[in-house]
Chains A and B, each alone.
Chain A
Amino acid sequence: MTVHNLYIFDRNGACLHYSEWNRKKQAGISKQEEFKLMYGMLFSIRSFVSKMSPLDMREGFQCFQTSRYKLHFYETPTGLKFIMNTDLSVPNARETLHQIYSTLYVDYIVKNPLCSLGDPLQSDLFSARLDTFMKNLPYFNPRAA
């Protein structure tokens, strides 16, 4: 079990934060390109999912997986998007992503008047807390499985 990386996007598609832990292979393009690609894909998949849904949709798109990794997606009603890539054995991570939002982003970014919302996050405190939070996740450690 392990966590590969985490993206936070704002409602306009700007990448506010990116961090990675056990990522063995890079995309081979610049980070800016990668963020754009990721956001574009999420935007399309979200609208695809809501258009094709045969039932009234509440939560929408939550995750997808390939043969090697699983992408977890959580969006707040304000349009902030949290994306975490993990390996396949990690169960539904919505609760974790919600916690990153409610206990880390809101407390250290939104409530910090010096952090202007919509700019890439530069708070060291936030980064440090996020790192600790992620490393304490039961499925963070690759050897725990």
Chain B
Amino acid sequence: MSRQSNRTTDNKKMNSELFTLTYGALVTQLCKDYENDEEVNKQLDKMGYNIGVRLIEDFLARSSVGRCQDFRETADVIAKVAFKMYLGVTPSVTNWSPAGDEFSLVLESNPLVDFVELPDNHNVLIYSNLLCGVLRGALEMVQMAVDVRFAQDTLRGDNVTEIRMKFIKRIEENLPAGDE
């Protein structure tokens, strides 16, 4: 039970510059390891996905958030609780599609790119693509298939960073095969 009391100290702050630089080192290494930027984007997404499927459990354990009633509630929780908890920023939720199945997370500042400038020969690289994977992986675990991509990126000269999320379908739970 002593574990319980350690919870609060568990949330101790990490130096954000160290975090930013670590992420930078990771992307740099991927750029060295892979031939082209498309492949790097793919790897970042994959790594993010693997992080997301575990991170969601930590998120649910730490926040007292229950199951969301609809996609709008999900959007709010992602922006106000999850981004705040893990990146220390609160993106705004905007640009809802008329059907309510697609929205944008707009970040005024993206902590991952604090010291980054993209060289000319990396104009296809989606530097923060890891975030897309994290969101996709985490939501998949709560039975939501989503499509996530960067619509705007300050690294490419846009004013803000915009992540576009589209709801695809609910993943239904099935009784495992072979059971009566």
Residues in A lying within 8 Å of B, measured CB to CB: 11-14, 36, 39-40, 43, 58-59, 76-80, 99, 101-107, 110-111, 117, 129, 133, 136
The answer, yes or no, to whether B175 is at the interface (CB within 8 Å) is yes
| Contact A106/B66 with A78-B56, A133-B1 known, Cβ cut-off 8 Å | no
Residue B25 at the chain A interface, CB threshold 8 Å: no
User: B57 near A136 (CB under 8 angstroms)?
Assistant: no
Which chain A residues lie closer than 8 Å to B65 at the CB level? 77
Q: Are B176 and A12 in contact (CB under 8 A)?
A: yes
Identify A78's interface contact among B7, B142, B175, B179, CB under 8 A.
Answer: B142
- Of the four ranges (under 10, 10 to 19, 20 to 34, 35 or more), the interface on chain B belongs to 20 to 34
Interface residues of B (CB under 8 A from A): 1, 3-4, 7, 53-54, 56-58, 60-62, 65-67, 141-143, 173, 175-176, 179-180
* Distance from A56 Cβ to chain B, minimum over Cβ atoms (Å): 9
> Max chain A CB contacts within 10 Å: which of B57, B60, B176, B180?
B57
CA distance A39 to B118 in the complex (A): 52
| Nearest 9 CB-CB pairings of A with B | A102-B61, A13-B176, A106-B61, A110-B57, A78-B141, A77-B67, A103-B3, A77-B142, A110-B54
The complex places the Cα of A102 from the Cα of B3 at a distance, in Å, of 10
Is A40 in contact with B61, judged by CB distance below 8 angstroms? Answer: no
* Residue from A76, A80, A111, A117 with most neighbouring chain B CB atoms (10 Å): A76
